[in-house]
């Protein structure tokens, strides 16, 4: 019995493409629980030679055996893994199967005290006084070990987060290593960064990261902070602690002095809140929802603590009639379905020029039929599981709202696994700026399609939001690209591309998408007293 989402236009039997138990997904643990990873649209009768099977991609699972999951994990404080003082713990699960993966320590306020004190000591006595040259070498070591253990990290990330192994392998892990590499090289060159002859670190950084790119976010936070001479207390997201803990192990392997990096797993409302409020924290860096970011900014009011925020978005992906159409369709798909759309800078609003809207939507729907939803560990999977039940509820709620407010909902007919948190790729057409699904961040694989007539109108619609994180522009006309880039109130503008990241390229938003930048030279400013 498969779970299928009813679609408006599907004319196919929704029962096609059922899970085939004999087509076992893989020989690793969890095999057979997830089942098929067929592309979304149901199979049509065979073509070509009579009786010939169609080109079905057999299961291509990445083996789980490279990961050595412990049954329980402690907190990483002052260079060692320790039990939380009040012994509290919780379990983290694989969102694709709801299988429990491990027991995770839940840090309490006393643990936060210990970690912040350790970080403070390390900053004053070891890391702060250390020369940039020496700090750099530690960061290079960490980058190297990430590369050495990249496969293990990628598999673990997909298990804990639900994202396809192809993405964790080809995007998350390499970028994490790259960030350490890039900032390692800044550690001994701060006087050339444009902040004066002798910029000083802020002290101890309390860093709270989200569940959508667990390892990569940890790297984005730790690397610049450490390069600038700060020590860190990192709080990974509750549902995705595992790669941060493996990173702590890597940090041990790199012989980083104790206390320089501390990792506190646990609840945001307990460990996270205690961390940012702690008087021993000089700098707070947060990536997450705008709502929580605002809570944090409020909590820090009047404390004098430095703060940078990287929050939500509702990016416009703008396609002009003279766009390179096939590549634009790829850009649309990448923009909203990469990482299941659980991306702050996702291109969640397609703004397509009215003259080609029908053509583009048709091409898009045809393209979506080749998306493969299923087992994150299968190398051919394009769209994995939604990270957690709460997020799945939010996506469902907003998708229902979209229908209720009159937009037209479409998904390729997908059969989804029975267990786990899944949502099919979904497109809403007939959306206007007055709709909730054009204004509120959904953070899932749901695209809202709006039209525009002129570049001015595209800009007006794109900027008609409280957010301002990113935007995409598709056209063959270079002068228009640069004009649009200048007009769009967004911290990142992708021309004829989308979702491109690089440690040298500053990333961050305008307005309620946050303030401060990560990456490049501006990324250092967040961690220096400038």
The residues annotated as belonging to the active site are 310, 344
Q: Which parts of 126-165 interact with another protein (CB under 8 A)?
A: none
Q: Which is nearer to another protein, 130 or 530 (CB)?
A: 530
Nearest residue (CB) to another protein, 23 versus 113:
23
- Among all chains, which residue has been given the structure tokens 């999951």? 69
d(CA 215, CA 130): 26
CB-wise, 41 or 339, nearer to another protein? 41
The total of other beta-carbon atoms located within 10 Å of residue 480's CB is 15
Question: Do 349 and 450 touch, CB atoms closer than 8 A?
Answer: yes
Q: Please identify, using beta-carbon distances, which residue of 178 and 438 lies nearer to another protein.
A: 178
Among the residue ranges 70-78, 133-141, 245-253, 297-305, the one whose residues contact another protein (CB under 8 A): 297-305
Nearer to another protein, 156 or 413 (CB): 413
* Dist CA 269 CA 123 (whole Å): 26
- Minimum CB distance to another protein smaller for 133 or for 466: 466
Per CB under 8 A, the list member of 437, 520, 524, 526 interacting with another protein is 520
For residue 100, list its beta bridge partners.
Answer: 93
Residues written for the chain: 530
Reading the block at residue 394, the tokens are 């939010």
CB of 74 to another protein, least distance (A): 35
d(CA 380, CA 375): 9
Q: What is the DSSP string of 50-94?
A: TTPPP-PPPP-BPPGGG----SEE-EEETTEEE--TT--EEEEEE
Residue 49 or 68 having the CB closest to another protein: 49
Residues 488-517 that bind another protein (CB under 8 A): 490-497, 500, 502, 504-508, 510-515, 517
Q: How many residues bind another protein (CB under 8 A)?
A: 89
CB of 196 to another protein, least distance (A): 6
Q: How far is the CB of 145 from another protein (least distance, A)?
A: 20
Contact between 323 and another protein per CB under 8 A: yes
Q: Does 419 bind another protein (CB under 8 A)?
A: no
Three-class SS state of 491: coil
Q: Considering the complex, what minimum distance in angstroms separates the CB of residue 309 from another protein? A: 7
Residue 318: both structure tokens together: 């703008």
Contacts with another protein in 204-263 (CB under 8 A)? none
Q: State which of positions 355-374 bind another protein (CB under 8 A).
A: 362, 365-366, 369-370
The answer to whether residues 375 and 34 touch, using CB atoms and an 8 Å cutoff, is: yes
- Is residue 169 within 8 A of residue 61, CB to CB? The reply is no
Report the nearest approach of another protein to the CB of residue 294 (Å). 5
Report residue 417: phi and psi, to 5°: -60, 155
| Segment interacting with another protein (CB under 8 A) among 80-88, 114-122, 127-135, 324-332 | 324-332
CB atoms closer than 10 angstroms to residue 282: 21
Q: With residue 362 as reference, give the H or E element that holds it.
A: helix 357-368
> How far does Cα 261 stand from its chain's mean position?
22
Tokens representing 287? 């990536």
Sole binder of another protein in the list 71, 304, 434, 479 (CB under 8 A): 304
| 443 sits near another protein (criterion: CB under 8 A) | no
3-state SS, residue 451: strand
Residue 176 DSSP symbol: H
137 or 511: CB nearest another protein = 511
Residues 162-191 binding another protein (CB under 8 A) are: 166, 170, 178
CB of 518 to another protein, least distance (A): 10
User: Residue 300 interacts with another protein (CB under 8 A)?
Assistant: yes
**Do the strands 283-287 and 446-452 form a parallel or antiparallel pair, or are they unpaired?**
unpaired
Residue 290 binds another protein (CB under 8 A): yes
Q: Which of residues 3-22 bind another protein (CB under 8 A)?
A: 11-12
Q: Which helix (H) or strand (E) holds 230?
A: none
CA angle 213, 70, 220 (to 5 degrees): 20
- The rounded distance, in Å, linking the Cα atoms of 88 and 108 is 8
Query: What minimum distance in Å lies between the beta carbon of 355 and another protein?
Result: 13
Residues 29-88 that bind another protein (CB under 8 A): 38-39, 41-49, 52-60
- Smaller CB separation from another protein, 47 or 71: 47
What is the closest distance, in whole angstroms, from the C-beta atom of residue 316 to another protein in the complex?
Answer: 15
> At closest approach, how far in Å is the CB of 450 from another protein?
21
Question: By the 8 A CB rule, do 74 and 84 touch?
Answer: yes
What part of residues 373-392 is at the interface with another protein (CB under 8 A)? 379-380
Alpha-carbon span 419 to 442, nearest angstrom: 22
């Amino acid at each position: 019995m498969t779970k299928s989402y009813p679609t408006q236009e599907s004319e196919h039997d929704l029962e096609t493409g059922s899970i085939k138990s004999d087509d076992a997904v893989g020989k690793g643990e969890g095999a057979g629980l997830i089942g098929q990873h067929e592309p979304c649209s149901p199979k049509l009768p065979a073509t070509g030679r009579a009786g010939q099977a169609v080109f079905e991609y057999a299961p291509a699972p990445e083996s789980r055996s490279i990961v050595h999951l412990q049954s329980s994990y402690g907190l990483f404080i002052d260079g060692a893994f320790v039990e939380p003082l009040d012994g509290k713990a919780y379990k983290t699960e694989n969102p694709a199967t709801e299988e429990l993966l491990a027991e995770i320590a839940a840090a309490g306020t006393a643990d936060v005290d210990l970690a912040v004190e350790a970080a403070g000591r390390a900053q004053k006595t070891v890391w702060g006084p250390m020369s940039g040259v020496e700090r750099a070498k530690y960061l290079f070591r960490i980058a190297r070990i990430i590369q050495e253990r990249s496969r293990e990290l990628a598999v673990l990330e997909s298990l804990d987060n639900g994202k396809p192994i192809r993405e964790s392998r080809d995007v998350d892990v390499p970028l994490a290593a790259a960030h350490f590499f890039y900032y390692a090289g800044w550690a001994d060159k701060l006087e050339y960064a444009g902040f004066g002859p002798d910029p000083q670190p802020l002290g101890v950084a309390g860093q709270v990261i989200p569940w959508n790119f667990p390892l990569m976010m940890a790297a984005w936070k730790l690397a610049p902070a450490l390069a600038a001479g700060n020590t860190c207390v990192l709080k990974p997201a509750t549902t995705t602690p595992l790669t941060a803990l493996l990173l702590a192990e890597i940090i041990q392997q790199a012989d980083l002095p104790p206390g320089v990096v501390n990792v506190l797993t646990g609840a945001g409302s307990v460990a996270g809140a205690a961390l940012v409020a702690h008087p021993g924290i000089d700098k707070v860096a947060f990536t997450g929802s705008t709502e929580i970011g605002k809570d944090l900014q409020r909590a820090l009011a009047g404390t004098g603590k430095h703060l940078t925020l990287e929050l939500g978005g509702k990016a416009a992906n703008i396609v002009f009639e003279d766009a390179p159409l096939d590549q634009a369709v790829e850009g649309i798909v990448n923009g909203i379905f990469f990482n299941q759309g659980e991306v702050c800078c996702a291109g969640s609003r397609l703004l397509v020029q009215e003259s080609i809207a029908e053509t583009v939507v048709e091409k898009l729907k045809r393209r979506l039929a080749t998306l493969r939803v299923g087992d994150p560990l299968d190398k051919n999977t394009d769209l994995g599981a939604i990270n957690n039940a709460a997020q799945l509820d939010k996506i469902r709620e907003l998708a229902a709202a979209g229908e209720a407010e009159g937009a037209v909902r479409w998904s390729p007919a997908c059969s989804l696994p029975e267990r786990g948190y899944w949502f099919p790729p979904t497109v809403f057409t007939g959306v206007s700026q007055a709709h909730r699904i054009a204004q509120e961040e959904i953070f899932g694989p749901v695209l809202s399609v709006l039209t525009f007539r002129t570049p001015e109108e595209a800009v007006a619609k794109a900027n008609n939001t409280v957010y301002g994180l990113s935007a995409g522009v598709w056209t063959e006309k270079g002068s228009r690209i640069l004009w649009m880039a200048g007009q769009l109130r967004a911290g990142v503008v992708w021309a004829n591309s989308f979702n491109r990241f690089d440690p040298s390229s500053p990333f961050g938003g305008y307005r309620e998408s946050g303030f401060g930048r990560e990456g490049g030279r501006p990324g250092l400013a967040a961690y220096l007293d400038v």
